Structures are given as C-alpha cells and as structure tokens.
A and B are shown apart, each in its own frame.
Chain A
Amino acid sequence: MADLSCNVGGIKAPNPFWLASAPPTDKLYNVERAFRAGWGGVVWKTLGLDPPIVNVSSRYGAVHYNGQRMMGLNNLELITDRPLEVNLKEIKQVKKDWPDRAVVVSLMVPCNEKDWKYIIPKIEDTGCDGVELNFGCPHGMSERGMGAAVGQVPEYVEMVTRWVKESSDLPCLVKLTPNVTDIRKVAHAAKAGGGDGVALINTVTSIVSVDLDQMAPEPTIDGKGSHGGYCGPAVKPIALHMVTEISKDPETQHMPISGIGGISNWRDAAEFIAMGASSVQVCTAAMHYGFKIVDDMIDGLNNWMDEKGYANLEDFRRMAVPNVTEWQFLNLKYDVKARIDESTCIHCGLCHISCEDASHQAIREIKDNGGRSFEVIDEECVGCNLCMFACPVPDCISMERVDSGTEYQNWTTHPNNPMRVEDN
C-alpha cells in the first residue's frame, strides 16, 4: 500500500483527490457524502458577500461525442447562492466532523481591500484548512469586476493575494483562469503576492453549441444564451499544458499546484502529479457519475504506484517535467514507421484513407482474390502516427523505431536552419 497523503502549500489531506469548488461541494449534505465515499478534500463552493447571487434556470450545456455523453460540460452558474452565514456554519460543522480531510474555502468578493479583510476572519473562524481565491470564473462574476476579470490582470491577482495573506496565516491557494495568453504571468503574480500555491485551471470561456431553431447559444434561457465556462474531459490537455508551464518555469517551479481540469480517473491524476501537481481536483466527473468514482481513483493509483515501486506521491511527482523540452531540441534523427499487425487487422481501410487523403500516401491497398490488405510503404511513411490513431483496432498499428538509436541532431544545428549554431 502506497502512502497517498498530500500536502499542498500547508494544506494536508489523506489522499490527493479533492472535489473542486462547484455544485458537489455546495453544502454540508454533499460534502459529507463525499467524505464518506473517500474524497481526501473539498474546496467549498465559492463564497461571496451577502446578499447571495441568483442563478438562472437552464444552466449547463454539453458536448457529446460519438455516443459518449458529456465529453465537455459548460455552465452559466455563479458562486454560491446561499447566505454566507449558512455556509460558514456548515463548513465549521464539516471540519469538526472530518478533521483529517482537507476543507478549503473558495472565495470571491469585490476587488477592494475592505471586503476581503471583512470576510477573511469569518473564514478563519470555521477552522478550515485554507482558502482558495477564485479569480477564474469566466462568466457572470467577471462582469462585476470579480473572478476572471481580476484573474486576467496579474497586478490585481498580486494585490488581492497580498490582502489575504496580510489578514490571515491560513494557507492560500490562488485559482487561475485559463482565459489568458500566458498562464505563467498570473502564477508569478500569485507568488509575488505571497500565495502558498496555485490551483488550475478554472473553466474555459466557451459557447458549446447553438440551437439552430431558436438561433441562440445553448443553454438557452428564454431565447438568449451567454458565454459559459467549459470543463470536463475535453479540457484536460489544456489544463495539463498550463500545469506544465508553471512546473517548468524557474520562478514558479517549486510552487505547490493543485491540478484541475478534466480529471476523471486515477490515470489522469497520475499524469497531473507527474507534471508537478501535489493534489488534483475533480468536478465534472463527479457531476457525471457521483462521488463513488473516487473509489477507483484511490485504488487504481495505489495499485499503479505499488507496481511501479513508488512509496508516496513525492516519489513520482514532477518526474515527467524534465522531459518536456522545446521543439527545437527534439532529436530529428529519431525515426519511426507504421507497422500493421495483419493478424488483428479487420480491413476497414481507415489507415489507408487517412494517410492517402491527409498525410503521405504511405499505405497501399492491395486487392487479392476477393480480399484486401494494407501495406505501409516505408520510404513514404514519415511516422506521423495518424494511421495508428485512425485504426479502430487497439494495438493493430504500432510505430516501430527504425533509426540506429545512436545519432542525435536537433534543429538548432540543422543545415536547413538559417539561424543554426555550430555543433560542438
């Protein structure tokens, strides 16, 4: 049994699987159920000042792909719609009943010092383990000078983080919006303001679909729609990229990260941890399947770590980070070719047509008495992997390395590069 405990900038939990600030962490009722199911922590649904906001009816939009439900989810929801006191009371209760779990409180109040300094002591009073500053919500709140609008301006992020750190010793995570050009700038600001860690990503600004009868974006509220926040499996690559950017950056490489975005199972979590995250947060997967999914997350991560001989999360955290390099340093001598396993090939022809129409015309269709087969023309194959992804049979097409394995040359020294440097 591996040790799954984690510590994110001073916030400790028995396992790295936390529920992100969202409907699953909206109230005591859900959070209790989540803890009973085994979640290591929660980030309470974002609190704000009273009076509470109101939400619209018809709040979510979704992208289904090829029969798979909710590849992506988008929402028009705002922060909590319950009075502050009710939330605070419940948080206090939960923390008392579940002392070993991480209870983090997400916050969003208007961008002035008075309001922040008013709310922080109240939060401290709940006995929670830390706060998460929500600068990331791309809809509704940003129009009021809160959320993404703040999150997009590094100076504001630094300023607000500083107010919070000045008024409390509580560990403070800064939640980042992905709706910026360079995520590193905002992470720098969080660090400069004294933040103990970052949590990312919040949702991606989006319009998931258009109702072609009503001619309005979905979800459609009385004939109108708006920009929503996109999340779920579809955003995982974006989140992973941004986490990696922060892990690589010399200034932020040691900043604790709580990874968020499309995490649905232990494998996704392991990938975020390998890229530097200390914990992960889940929203859409729990909204889709309920809290029970954490069982496989814990179990699966445990089994995989045992298999690999990792005793705790630190054993493999950041392990993939050094292998992320810039394109110009990739070995141009490395060469792979597609290999078709004739024994499992079902002759659908997708490898042929994808390569024929969209790559390098490197797969030939051979018709022989009634049947057909497909053959890779090595001289034409550039090793792009397209056919391997188009093939519907798992492992039927693999890529075989064909270069000597001993040569190395990258773009910086390549003869075709007018800006090349001399090889040394």
Chain B
Amino acid sequence: MTTIDVRNGRLSQERLDLNFSDSHPPLEPGNALVEANRCYFCYDAPCIEACPTSIDIPSFIRKISTGNLKGSAKDILSQNIMGGMCARVCPTETLCEGACVRETQDHQPVRIGELQRYATDSFIESGETFFERAESSGKKIAVVGGGPAGLSCAHRLAVLGHQAVVFEAREKLSGLNEYGIAPYKTVNDFAQLEVDYILKIGGIEVRTNQKLGHDVKLDNLRKQFDAVFLSVGLGDANSLGLENEEIAGVYDAIETIAELRQSENLAELSVGRRVVVIGGGSTAIDIAVESKKLGAEDVTMVYRRGPEQMNATWKEQEFAQTNGVQVKHWLSPKKLKSENGHVSGIEFECTELNHEGKLSVTGEVRSMEVDVVFKAIGQTLDNSLDSDDEMPKTRAGKFAVNAKYETTLPGVWAGGDCINSGEDLTVQAVEDGKQAAISIHRKLSQT
C-alpha cells in the first residue's frame, strides 16, 4: 500500500525564485557585440530563409555591431511584431540557427535568438514605436482569438489603415504566450508588455471574455464586418483513451501550465512527488521541467516512440535531461491504477517498430508508481465552436485554407495553430497573422 504524495510548498521561496528565473539571461552589451561580430553577413542568407517570418537577420545583426540598435529592432519588428517573444521561445536550433552557416562550419551558430532579444528588449522598453498607420480605409475586420496569430493580424491590419476588433475568450490577450509558454522563457510579464507595445499602434479594439460560439456568432460577425480572421488556436486536448482517465491526479498538461502561468504564488501549487508525463512534444518537455522546478522528486517523461521521432527538438530533450527529467522511450500507456479514486500507478506496454515500420506492442509490460500523471499528447480544434453557425470546412482536424489564408467560407480567413501552415509555433502564428492581414487587405482593396 503506497501513500499518495501530492502537496504544495516543496521548495523554499528562494529556490522557487531561482528555478523560475530567466533560463537564458539576456546578453550583456559586450557579449552582444562579440556575438554580433561572429555573423558573416551572408549573401542571400540561409538563416533568413529558415525564419518563418523572414527577418533580415544579417542586417539586424550588423546594426547591433554598429550600435544602431533602433534600426536593428526595426528590421526585426517590421517582419515579426512579436520579435521579442520569438527571440525567447523559438526553437532556434531547428529554425534560423539550424541553418546558420557557422553551424555548418563549426557547430557554433551565431546566437541569433539572443541577439534578437538584445535588439528588441531595449527598443520595446524605450516605449518608442516606428509604425505609422496608413490613411483610414474605413474597413472593419473581426479578429477572433487574441493570441500571436490574432494580434499579429490585427497589428498589420492597423498598419494598413484598417480597424480591427479582437474578440478574445479569455481575460487576457496573447494566447499561449500568456497561458502556455514556459514561465522561465518569458519572465517579468513580458507577454503583457508586448501586448501593450502592439496595441500602441491604435486602431485595434479589444473585447475580452468574448467567446465565439458562446458570446459571439460567426454568422453575425460575417454580417457586421468586412472580413473575419479566425485565430482561435487549438482549444481541446487529446485524451489517452484509457478507461478511468477522469480520476483525480490525471491532468491535462495544458490546463496545469495555464494555472502555473497565472499563479501569483508558486509555493501554493500542488505538486506530486512522483510525476509521469505522457507525450514527446514541447508541451511534455515543459510540464516535466516545470514539475521538476516546482519540487517533484522523480519526473519521468514517457514516449511511445524513440528520441528521433519526438517532436521536441534535441535541444529541448537535452534541456529536460539537464533539469533532471528522466526520459523513457518505446512505452505506450495501457492502464491507470488508482487508490481511493486517485491515481497511484500506471502500466505501459513496450512498443517497437515492426518490419513494416509501424508501431506495435511487444507484449512486455512495465509499471510505475505515481502521484500525478500529465497528458501532453497534442491538442485539437475546440469542438464547441460548432454552434448552429456555418463553420469553415476542416482538413486533418484544422481549418482548411488556401495559399491566401482564405477558408472555405467567403470573407473568412484563418491562421495560427488552428490551420495547417507549418509547425505549431509562435513564430508561425505571427507569420500567418501577418500574411492573412496582407491577403485581407488585398481583397478589401479590390472592392
């Protein structure tokens, strides 16, 4: 008979503060200069191509090296209005830095992300902006969902002279930047700082606590606005499909992370002593590391395939491991055990790839004792959006769009995690929003 151990206050306040401080502290001016000087100023640079928002990286880095920080920030923000957040959260190892020629040369890419943060931080803090709005077009666009995709779209629309109205279900803007991203990547309330910066352009009206399908209806929006942009992200979490998944101690990682992000006092959060995380993506990495940082003793991430198939990048896997997370592969959850209605153990089947290259079970079984299980196996479109309104058609579980970000419904565009544009990343959402705004602008300018 085991005793379930879930409680708060496992670590001292001091320890918590340290654990949740900036995981990559900002560059000092001297280091920034040295790093900037490592850039070769490549022609037709491969890093630009690898950035979903096509920031002119050699240009902004050169401007850092000449002390033209304002020009540098402008190069970044004019392509990516969330250049500050992206500098903190982009998996640069698979994006710009992965393509940097210095990665090819000596496995030491220019630290583009950190330089980007260096350039944008000082500018955003200065409170200045260089964006100017074009003459008013008189057009009004509804943006549904105030995450990275929605805000990026609204901002670009405002620049182009349109009026944007953002309908956001939650209390705060910024989507997963505020409710999802790991806290040690974005300390000091940076998400809201960035929102303030973005809204400063003017021409963006924000209506929070307005949920599509609940408080507002798509049909009405289509009638009242010249265009609608859907950027609702992915509202539902996948389930394991096990019998008693609803028992206490089994949680959606996303929900717990949102609680963590909104918590005023981390010491009050309940943490299991032995934590199992199921999944192989960045959300799984995050909840595992966060649990560890909150004081869990044993954190085990369990994935049903091998390290190469994980969605988490090699760097994220390394980060989890250096933070004391144990990673186990080739195990698929089979059964949850419980005591008095609370999870107490979990059983896995061993898996392998069979000769056809398909995942199959070997017949062997492993079991672990646990206090808390997190599910982090992906999200899907929120199915409560489906009111009696006509909704755009979906493809592979997300809104289907064409190259111009148009959905199957006339006058309705979509972007961000709720479409299949690229990876589900902040930077991709920002690009989607920007391109959709440009597409909407073109369409509205024709009429």
Residues of A within 8 A of B (CB): 66-67, 346-350, 352-353, 365, 372, 392-393
Q: How far is the CA of A139 from the CA of B203 in the complex (A)?
A: 61
Contacts of B248 in A (CB 8 A): none
CB within 8 A of A347: which of B33, B37, B104? B104
Asked if B34 and A347 make an inter-chain contact with CB atoms under 8 angstroms apart, the answer reads no
- Nearest chain B CB to A225 CB, angstrom units: 20
Asked if A346 and B104 make an inter-chain contact with CB atoms under 8 angstroms apart, the answer reads yes
> B71 contacts the other chain (Cβ, under 8 Å)?
no
- Nearest chain A CB to B68 CB, angstrom units: 13
> B101 contacts the other chain (Cβ, under 8 Å)?
yes
Q: List 26 A-B contacts (CB under 8 A).
A: A66-B37, A66-B65, A67-B34, A67-B37, A67-B38, A346-B101, A346-B105, A347-B46, A347-B104, A348-B40, A348-B42, A348-B43, A348-B101, A349-B43, A349-B45, A350-B40, A350-B41, A350-B42, A350-B43, A352-B43, A353-B43, A353-B44, A365-B43, A372-B44, A392-B105, A393-B105
Please give 6 more A-B residue pairs, beta carbons under 8 A apart, in addition to A348-B42, A352-B43, A365-B44: A66-B37, A67-B37, A346-B102, A348-B45, A348-B101, A372-B44
Q: What 1/0 flags go to B84-105 for Cβ under 8 Å of A? A: 0000000000000000011011
Q: Size band of the B side of the interface?
A: 10 to 19
Q: What DSSP secondary structure best describes chain A's contact surface?
A: loop
Contacts of B41 in A (CB 8 A): 350
Known: A349-B43, A352-B43, A353-B43. A67 touches B33 (CB 8 A): yes
Asked if A349 and B42 make an inter-chain contact with CB atoms under 8 angstroms apart, the answer reads yes
Q: How far is the CA of A66 from the CA of B38 in the complex (A)?
A: 8
- Nearest chain B CB to A362 CB, angstrom units: 15
- Nearest chain A CB to B263 CB, angstrom units: 43
* Residue of B with least CB distance to A391: B40
Contacts of A352 in B (CB 8 A): 43
Q: How far is the CA of A349 from the CA of B47 in the complex (A)?
A: 12
Q: How far is the CA of A348 from the CA of B42 in the complex (A)?
A: 5
Q: Which residues, 93 to 124 on B, are CB-close (under 8 Å) to A?
A: 101-102, 104-105
Contacts of B43 in A (CB 8 A): 348-350, 352-353, 365
Q: How far is the CA of A66 from the CA of B402 in the complex (A)?
A: 46
Q: How far is the CA of A346 from the CA of B101 in the complex (A)?
A: 6
Contacts of B37 in A (CB 8 A): 66-67
Q: How far is the CA of A290 from the CA of B137 in the complex (A)?
A: 68
CB within 8 A of A349: which of B33, B38, B44, B104? B44
Q: How far is the CA of A349 from the CA of B46 in the complex (A)?
A: 9
Q: How far is the CA of A393 from the CA of B44 in the complex (A)?
A: 18
Q: How far is the CA of A141 from the CA of B226 in the complex (A)?
A: 79
- Nearest chain B CB to A212 CB, angstrom units: 10
Q: How far is the CA of A347 from the CA of B104 in the complex (A)?
A: 9
Q: How far is the CA of A392 from the CA of B46 in the complex (A)?
A: 15
* Residue of B with least CB distance to A344: B105
Q: How far is the CA of A347 from the CA of B44 in the complex (A)?
A: 10
Asked if B40 and A392 make an inter-chain contact with CB atoms under 8 angstroms apart, the answer reads yes
Contacts of A346 in B (CB 8 A): 101-102, 104-105
Q: How far is the CA of A359 from the CA of B33 in the complex (A)?
A: 30
Q: What 1/0 flags go to B13-55 for Cβ under 8 Å of A? A: 0000000000000000000011001101111111000000000
Contacts of B46 in A (CB 8 A): 347
Contacts of A67 in B (CB 8 A): 33-34, 37-38
Contacts of B38 in A (CB 8 A): 67
- Nearest chain B CB to A180 CB, angstrom units: 35
Contacts of B102 in A (CB 8 A): 346
- Nearest chain A CB to B35 CB, angstrom units: 9
Q: How far is the CA of A208 from the CA of B34 in the complex (A)?
A: 21
Q: How far is the CA of A350 from the CA of B34 in the complex (A)?
A: 20
Contacts of B101 in A (CB 8 A): 346-348
Q: How far is the CA of A353 from the CA of B45 in the complex (A)?
A: 11
Contacts of B65 in A (CB 8 A): 66
- Nearest chain A CB to B340 CB, angstrom units: 57
Contacts of B104 in A (CB 8 A): 346-347
* Residue of A with least CB distance to B44: A349
* Residue of B with least CB distance to A356: B43
* Residue of B with least CB distance to A370: B49
Q: How far is the CA of A348 from the CA of B38 in the complex (A)?
A: 13
* Residue of B with least CB distance to A65: B37
Contacts of A392 in B (CB 8 A): 40, 105
Q: How far is the CA of A9 from the CA of B43 in the complex (A)?
A: 54
- Nearest chain A CB to B21 CB, angstrom units: 29
Contacts of B105 in A (CB 8 A): 346, 392-393
Closest 5 CB pairs of A and B: A349-B43, A353-B43, A67-B37, A346-B101, A348-B42
- Nearest chain A CB to B406 CB, angstrom units: 28
**Residue of B38, B43, B45, B102 with most partner-chain A CB within 10 A:** B43
Contacts of A349 in B (CB 8 A): 42-45
- Nearest chain A CB to B282 CB, angstrom units: 25
Q: How far is the CA of A28 from the CA of B43 in the complex (A)?
A: 54
Q: How far is the CA of A349 from the CA of B101 in the complex (A)?
A: 10
Q: How far is the CA of A67 from the CA of B65 in the complex (A)?
A: 9
Q: How far is the CA of A350 from the CA of B33 in the complex (A)?
A: 21
Contacts of B44 in A (CB 8 A): 349, 353, 365, 372
* Residue of B with least CB distance to A392: B40
Contacts of A365 in B (CB 8 A): 43-44
- Nearest chain A CB to B34 CB, angstrom units: 5
Q: How far is the CA of A66 from the CA of B34 in the complex (A)?
A: 8
Q: How far is the CA of A350 from the CA of B41 in the complex (A)?
A: 8
- Nearest chain B CB to A393 CB, angstrom units: 6
Q: How far is the CA of A372 from the CA of B104 in the complex (A)?
A: 14
Q: How far is the CA of A346 from the CA of B65 in the complex (A)?
A: 22
* Residue of A with least CB distance to B103: A346
Q: How far is the CA of A393 from the CA of B41 in the complex (A)?
A: 14
Q: How far is the CA of A392 from the CA of B65 in the complex (A)?
A: 18
Q: How far is the CA of A206 from the CA of B40 in the complex (A)?
A: 30
Q: How far is the CA of A352 from the CA of B40 in the complex (A)?
A: 13
Contacts of A353 in B (CB 8 A): 43-44
- Nearest chain B CB to A233 CB, angstrom units: 17
* Residue of B with least CB distance to A354: B43
- Nearest chain A CB to B64 CB, angstrom units: 12
- Nearest chain B CB to A114 CB, angstrom units: 54
Q: How far is the CA of A107 from the CA of B187 in the complex (A)?
A: 64
Q: Which residues, 231 to 263 on B, are CB-close (under 8 Å) to A?
A: none
- Nearest chain A CB to B195 CB, angstrom units: 35
Contacts of A348 in B (CB 8 A): 40, 42-43, 45, 101
Q: How far is the CA of A353 from the CA of B43 in the complex (A)?
A: 6
Q: How far is the CA of A350 from the CA of B101 in the complex (A)?
A: 11
Contacts of A372 in B (CB 8 A): 44
Q: How far is the CA of A220 from the CA of B37 in the complex (A)?
A: 27
**Residue of B33, B34, B101, B102 with most partner-chain A CB within 10 A:** B101
**Residue of B33, B38, B104 with most partner-chain A CB within 10 A:** B104
Contacts of B33 in A (CB 8 A): 67
Contacts of A350 in B (CB 8 A): 40-43
Q: How far is the CA of A348 from the CA of B43 in the complex (A)?
A: 6
Q: How far is the CA of A352 from the CA of B101 in the complex (A)?
A: 15
Contacts of B42 in A (CB 8 A): 348-350
